[in-house]
A and B are shown apart, each in its own frame.
Chain A
Amino acid sequence: MASVSETHAANKPGPARWLVVLVPYFWLLLFFAGPFLIILKISLSDTAIAMPPYVPVFQGAIGDFISRLDFENYLFLTEDPLYIRSYLSSLRIALISTLLLLLIGYPMALAMARAPSSLRPTLVMLVILPFWTSFLIRVYAWIGILKPDGLLTLLFQTIGLMGPNEQVQIFRTDIAVFIGIVYSYLPFMVLPLYSALEKMDNTLLEAASDLGCPPLKAFWKITFPLSLPGVVAGSLICFIPITGEFVIPDLLGGADTLMIGKTLWTEFFGNRDWPLASAVAVILLILLVVPIAIFQNQQKKVA
């Protein structure tokens, strides 16, 4: 029968259908996976004052290639405490921000999931809408609020929390960075949490309360464990990009706010040291491989 053979054929790409797979496949191989090999290669080469500012590694025979490989960029990363401190500080900021996002995002997602079903699409829309407006704009908006002669100072002075000569000293500190990160990433945390909580079977909670379980205990015994996939997804979606964040620490953070994305940017655009910037990127990638792998596994399970 024609229909049976067609359905079978649809599960395995036939010659014509290969194009469907091959075009995006090759695009991603060429422009996403391929460049990582180049980063690796350049991180192993010497800096040069030229354009491009590095000495090529891949020239001549294989033996020549191996003798030219050098790990001095990586050695340099371990010698200068700035880099190690940047990595550690990025991981610390990303971890604290993710926890803050969970603390703020979870009650929001829970409240959305418990709202009347007619209201829910509007609430979801309200969470998504800020995400559509530019990241840069949303970070910029906080500068006007947080800077010493900004609106927060004005507000505190008006309501009498502060004297006329006092100013809010948050701008260009780690606190401003946390505010910026939590603000920018909140939709990414709320949406996976909401989709996990919304799917929950409410009869379980009713059963618990019928059997005399107090609401708070029911939450920890039933709601929270069932929402764990959402917690993991939301945390990873936030944690991984925050670790490499550049815009927020650059615009809201101070000179002592160390984040590896900023260090990489300075190394590349400021010092024009491409090999060192590549080595910084390689180490960052190695740090993030495990979280990215967990994220992919989880997404595949959901899909």
Chain B
Amino acid sequence: MKSSRFDATVLTLGFAFLYIPIIILVIYSFNASRLVTVWGGFSFQWYRTMWSNQGLMDAAWITARVGVLSATIGTVLGTLAALSLVRFSRFPGRMLFSGMIYAPLVMPEVITGLSLLLLFVAVGIDRGFWTVVIAHTTFTMCYVAIVVQSRLMTFDRSLEEAALDLGCPPVKTFFRITLPLIMPAVIAGWMLAFTLSLDDLVIASFTTGPGATTLPIKIYSQVRLGVTPEINAICTILIGLVTLGVIAASISTKRAELRRIRDEHVALRGVT
């Protein structure tokens, strides 16, 4: 078939374009030579220099803390926002609310960053760790809201209604029925929020202060000075961590899905 050969070519070229630069970056992190065009043999030396670079390690630790905190707060707020959008079809200012959920997804980062910075200065908050956490929470919660919202829309509400009919209070129903059912989306939302926070350079640059240099800011300042294998090493570790996380998450959701299907089968057999 002609069209299937065309499709295969397109996909091969497309994925080559997406992956070759990343693969090259990873390979050159093991290059003993400092030059990009010269292969000086396999070596772990850049990982060693990276490990002993205290500034880089401090930045990594700050970034991880900002990521966990902002992703966690962002996931709570984003899940609440998704519930509001899906479950409450009308309340005053709903238009504005959904607008504020969608706009940050496409808003240029320079605008978000500048506006938050001016807010912090206007109310007299010292910039630093917490201002970055607030900034990251604000834009990541919108991504979480979108992810959780799509799960809530395909959600079978009969279980929830059964619990409420049997006299389970709404808050308890949420924690015992709703939350476990939307959990895969909540976890996916958290991971997305965490990687977005890990990744952000522009918003963090505007909202950070002394003593709160995040990893992207550090990497950016080194990249401006030129390509060094040490940056390749830290990038490779980040790519490795993210890949592991994504694979682990997809395996665990697939397992959960299989378990759910099996449980349903058992339940059905029990009924008949």
State the total of A-B contacts with C-beta under 8 angstroms.
Answer: 258
Interface residues on A, range: 35 or more
Q: Which of A36, A135, A277, A295 contacts B199 (CB 8 A)?
A: A135
A-B contacts besides A137-B238, A145-B24, 7 pairs, CB < 8 Å: A11-B88, A38-B119, A111-B14, A114-B7, A144-B28, A147-B36, A292-B106
Central interface residue in B14, B164, B202, by most chain A CB within 10 Å: B14
Q: Which of B11, B100, B107 contacts A29 (CB 8 A)?
A: B100
Interface presence of B93 (CB below 8 A): yes
Interface presence of B3 (CB below 8 A): yes
Q: Which of chain A's residues has its CB closest to B139's CB?
A: A32
CA distance in complex: A105, B165 (Å): 49
Binding site for B on A (CB under 8 A): 2-3, 6-7, 10-13, 16-17, 20-21, 23-25, 27-29, 31-36, 38-39, 42, 52, 104, 107-108, 110-112, 114-115, 123, 125-130, 132-138, 140-145, 147, 149-151, 153-154, 183, 186-187, 190, 215, 236-237, 240-241, 243-247, 251, 261, 264-265, 268-269, 274, 277-278, 281, 284-285, 288, 291-292, 295-296, 299-300, 303
B98 touches A183 (CB 8 A): no
Interface residues on B, range: 35 or more
Shortest C-beta distance, B83 to chain A (Å), equals 5
CA distance in complex: A2, B163 (Å): 11
B21 touches A142 (CB 8 A): yes
B109 touches A246 (CB 8 A): yes
Q: Which of B98, B171, B227 contacts A143 (CB 8 A)?
A: B227
Q: Which residues of B contact A111 (CB under 8 A)?
A: 6-8, 10-11, 14
Q: Is the interface of A mostly helix, strand, loop or mixed?
A: helix
Interface presence of B78 (CB below 8 A): yes
Q: Which residues of A contact B206 (CB under 8 A)?
A: 268
Shortest C-beta distance, A174 to chain B (Å), equals 19
Q: Which of chain B's residues has its CB closest to A31's CB?
A: B138
Q: Which of chain A's residues has its CB closest to B90's CB?
A: A12
Known: A12-B90, A134-B199, A303-B149. A241 touches B100 (CB 8 A): no
Interface presence of B110 (CB below 8 A): yes
CA distance in complex: A299, B47 (Å): 44
Q: Mask for B170-192, Cβ within 8 A of A = 1, else 0?
A: 11000000000000000000000
Known: A6-B164, A140-B235, A281-B110. A300 touches B17 (CB 8 A): no
B161 touches A3 (CB 8 A): yes
B164 touches A38 (CB 8 A): no
CA distance in complex: A70, B80 (Å): 41
Q: Which residues of A contact B102 (CB under 8 A)?
A: 295-296, 299-300
CA distance in complex: A240, B122 (Å): 28
Q: Which residues of B contact A247 (CB under 8 A)?
A: 201-202, 220
CA distance in complex: A38, B125 (Å): 15
Q: Which residues of B contact A140 (CB under 8 A)?
A: 25, 219, 223, 227, 231, 235
A244 touches B165 (CB 8 A): no
B106 touches A284 (CB 8 A): no
Name the interface residues of B75-115: CB closer than 8 Å to any CB of A: 77-78, 80-81, 83-85, 87-91, 93, 96-112, 114-115
Q: Which residues of A contact B25 (CB under 8 A)?
A: 137, 140-141, 144
A114 touches B3 (CB 8 A): yes
Q: Which residues of B contact A35 (CB under 8 A)?
A: 115-116, 118-119
CA distance in complex: A25, B96 (Å): 9
Q: Which of chain A's residues has its CB closest to B81's CB?
A: A24
Q: Which residues of A contact B199 (CB under 8 A)?
A: 134-136
Task: State the 6 A-B residue pairs at the shortest beta-carbon distance, nearest first.
Answer: A244-B108, A35-B115, A111-B7, A24-B81, A141-B21, A240-B106
A32 touches B87 (CB 8 A): no
B37 touches A153 (CB 8 A): yes
Q: Which residues of B contact A3 (CB under 8 A)?
A: 161, 164-165
Q: Which residues of B contact A278 (CB under 8 A)?
A: 114, 118
Q: Which residues of B contact A186 (CB under 8 A)?
A: 14, 17-18
Known: A32-B138, A108-B14. A151 touches B201 (CB 8 A): no
